Amino acid sequence: MKNRFATFWRYRFLLSNLIGRDIKVKYRRSKLGILWSVLNPLLMMLVMTAVFSKFFRFDIPNYPVYLLSGQLLFTFFNESSTAAMGSVLFSAPLIKKVYVPKYIFPLEKSCFSFLNLFFSMIALMFVMLITRTSFHLSLFAGVIPMFLLFMFCTGVGLFLAAAAIFFRDVMHFWTVIVTALSYATPIFYPESIWQGTFMVYLGRLNPLYWYVTSFRGCVIDGVFPSVVSIGVCTFFAVAALVVGASVFWKTQDNFILYI
């Protein structure tokens, strides 16, 4: 264990370098560069607010903040898991030649997306200012569900990265799952529309539901996350990490034969 940590410590420079590379490559030749991390969710939010406040009316106070807070977290989940899924495959030329701890690649993707999430939080603050949402002290507690979600995403990413090596189908299937999850999470609609449907029960099995509602509580309602919600979020995070890491661990010696 100590040894593993020493290896990780030795390769931390690789981790930071890969994150730096991703940032540079993502915003290469774009005039606004990293500003897009803020601008993109902002514009998306504008489009969706326009659509949903005109055509489908939901009775949600402060819709822009409601929408954006849910969407930022979900986008993070989508981005990090999808990027992590292909990360080991994408690094095949490297893995075939040099010994590098392989979990670095999915881990790097979730770190990179997490960093992006923090940048995008600027957009949320901006919208909160514009809409005159009151700022609560609990806003700072919002990092708790964010961090737990990061753990969850890392676990999912490790699992997907390993699975995609043996079965490329996973890559196609995952987009369907993400879409399903995005509708099963109250992002653009209020939780109340679940009433009287099976979603009342099923919706609570969706991990994303817990992260999003807990985060929203901190941002909009000014309440600190409850023990239950922190407990559930932690449970999903740890479960994902344990499953993801052990699947990755058990299969990683065979990666090289399939990539």
Partner 1 sequence: MEPMVSVKNVSMRFNLASEKVDNLKEYLIKFTKGSLKFEEFWALKDVSIEIMPGDVYGLVGLNGSGKSTLLKTIAGVLKPTKGTVTVNGSIAPLIELGAGFDMDLTARENIYLNGAVLGFSKKFMDEHFQDIVDFSELHDFLDVPLKNYSSGMVARIAFAIATATKPDILIADEILSVGDYRFQEKCENRMKELMSGGTTVILVSHSIEQVRRMCNKVTWLEKGNVIMTGPTEEVCRAYSTKY
Nearest Cα neighbor of 128 from 46, 76, 64 is 64
The residue (of 6 and 35) whose beta carbon lies closer to partner 1 is 6
On whether the CB atoms of residues 83 and 19 are closer than 8 A, the answer is: no
Among the residue ranges 9-17, 57-65, 142-150, 238-246, the one whose residues contact partner 1 (CB under 8 A): 9-17
Those residues whose C-beta lies under 8 Å from the C-beta of residue 60, and which sit 6 or more positions away, are 66, 190
**Among 47, 98, 176, 227, contact with partner 1 (rule: CB under 8 A):** 98
Hey, which residues between 216 and 255 contact partner 1 (CB under 8 A)?
Answer: 253
Q: Which is nearer to partner 1, 159 or 209 (CB)?
A: 159
Rounded distance, CA 189 to CA 58, Å?
7
Distance from C-alpha of 4 to C-alpha of 122, rounded to nearest angstrom: 36
Q: How many CA atoms lie within 13 A of 87 on its CB side?
A: 33
> Site residues for partner 1, window 21-40 (CB under 8 A)?
21, 24-25, 28
Q: Is 176 a binder of partner 1 (CB under 8 A)?
A: no
Q: Which is nearer to partner 1, 126 or 249 (CB)?
A: 249
Q: Which is nearer to partner 1, 4 or 168 (CB)?
A: 168
Q: Which is nearer to partner 1, 9 or 201 (CB)?
A: 9
Site string for partner 1, 144-173 (x = CB under 8 A): ----------------------xxxxx---
In the complex, the smallest distance separating the C-beta of residue 16 from partner 1, rounded to whole angstroms, is 8
Tell me, by CB under 8 A, how many residues bind partner 1: 29
Please say whether the beta carbons of 211 and 145 come within 8 A: yes
- Note whether 4 binds partner 1 by CB under 8 A: no
C-alpha 110/C-alpha 115 separation (Å) is 9
Q: Which residues bind partner 1 (CB under 8 A)?
A: 10-11, 13-14, 16-18, 20-21, 24-25, 28, 93-100, 166-170, 253, 256-258
